[in-house]
Amino acid sequence: MIRPWLLGLGLLAARAAAQVTPVPAPPSLPDPLAAPRPRLIDLPSDLSPRVVALGTDEAANRHGDDIYQPQVGQPGKDVIWVPTPEPLIRAMLAAARVTPDDFVVDLGSGDGRIPIIAAREFGARAHGIDYNGDMVALARRLADRQGLRGKVSFQRGDIFESDFSTASVVTLYLLPSLNLKLRPQLLALRPGTRVLSHAFDMGDWEPDQVIRTDVATGYLWFVPARVEGRWAFEVQGQRFAATLTQKFQNLSARGGPLTSGRLKGNDITLALANGRELKGRVLGDDRMVGPGWSASRIAPR
């Protein structure tokens, strides 16, 4: 027996169904997981992650320029960013006689132009250190575009906490106060290491050469050997002892016929009271030799 109230519900449902308009099935969409997946770029771990999908190496290399472009005068950790003009870069590297045997380290490398020019035009291995991770990423992209991967490298770091002791050439464009702060590290580098600075000097460490171009001025120093102390000399059969006092590359002498001297890396020139000069090389910590003369260290200062 069908109850009246159930029959009433069935009639209402039938009426509602008659009033519903059928909805067409959605169009067939491609399965995104079935399509080839774009390659992801692995960015250096020292940068903020920006993993993006790109299709080719060229696109991968150029991606990031749209994200970050430096502006001249933008603030950095210790200085604002102002790039060194390329004519001065070339003039400084030429004055330092950079060759493929050199390892150039740029402190505060910015967009990487100094390491890139050192590698591309002088054949050197080169490395840049900058505190700004975006600048480091930009410098890597610019170097890669010129085919310098493996020849040029960049790292994010604080130049005052970084080890650049293996450099044969160090370049910088900082401020006078920062140059002075770095000076003890620079003077501790291997004798003969060349130091190049755009615009600013090193206080009372006078440059070995001033480099002037139409657009800017640079300075060159050769890290001097450390010869201060007492030495036993033999000059053309004459033996004597002398004490050398050193202020950077300049020497004064006390004892025997020596009066003064000057260093250029390991190259040494000593002046005699009679006007003659002794030219030679510093060999390690305890020996100096030259045509017709030699010296051995007796004691440090």
pLDDT at position 7 is 42
Report the distance separating Cα 259 and Cα 273, nearest Å: 6
Q: Is 250 helix (H, G, I), strand (E, B) or coil?
A: strand
User: Residue 72 has what pLDDT?
Assistant: 86
Residue 12 banded pLDDT, cuts 50, 70, 90? very low
pLDDT of residue 280: 98
Q: In whole angstroms, what is the distance from residue 195 CA to residue 106 CA? A: 10
Query: For position 300, what pLDDT does the model report?
Result: 85
Q: Where residue 61 falls among pLDDT bands split at 50, 70, 90?
A: low
Residue 135 has pLDDT above 60, yes or no: yes
Place of tokens 């200062």: 301
SS3 letters across 216-248? CEEEEEECCCCCCEEEEEEECCEEEEEEEEEEC
pLDDT band for position 66 (cuts 50, 70, 90): low
Section 86-90 average pLDDT? 98
How many Cα neighbours within 13 Å face the side chain of 17? 6
pTM here?
A: 0.78
What average pLDDT is seen over the chain?
Answer: 84
Mean pLDDT, rounded, for 140-157: 96
**In the structure encoding, which two tokens stand for residue 119, read together?**
């590698």
Summarize the confidence of residues 191-200 as an average pLDDT: 98
3 state SS of 99: coil
Say which DSSP state 37 is in. Answer: P
* Strand partners of residue 119: none
pLDDT digit string, tens, across residues 42-51 = 333 333 323 2
Fold of the domain spanning 229-300: Lipocalin (2.40.128)
Q: Please write the tens of the pLDDT for every residue from 167-185.
A: 999 999 999 999 999 999 9
Which regions of the chain carry the CATH code 2.40.128? 229-300
Q: What is the pLDDT of residue 178?
A: 97
DSSP 8-state secondary structure symbol assigned to residue 275: S
Residue 23 has pLDDT above 50, yes or no: no
The arithmetic mean of pLDDT across residues 57-65, rounded, is 53
Antiparallel, parallel or unpaired: β 194-198 and 169-172 = parallel
- The DSSP secondary-structure symbol of 80 reads B
CATH 3.40.50.150 in the chain is located at 86-222
pLDDT at residue number 63: 54
Q: How much is the average pLDDT of 149-175?
A: 97
**Which tens digits make up the pLDDT trace of 214-261?**
999 999 999 999 999 999 999 999 999 999 999 999 999 999 999 999
User: Which residue, chain included where needed, has tokens 């009246």?
Assistant: 4
Average pLDDT over residues 275-287: 96
> Nearest-CA neighbor of 98 among 216, 261, 224, 211?
211
- Closest to 106 measured CA to CA, from 177, 162, 48: 162
Q: Which fold has domain 86-222?
A: Rossmann fold (3.40.50)
pLDDT band for position 4 (cuts 50, 70, 90): very low
Angle between helices 86-95 and 113-122 (to 10 degrees): 60
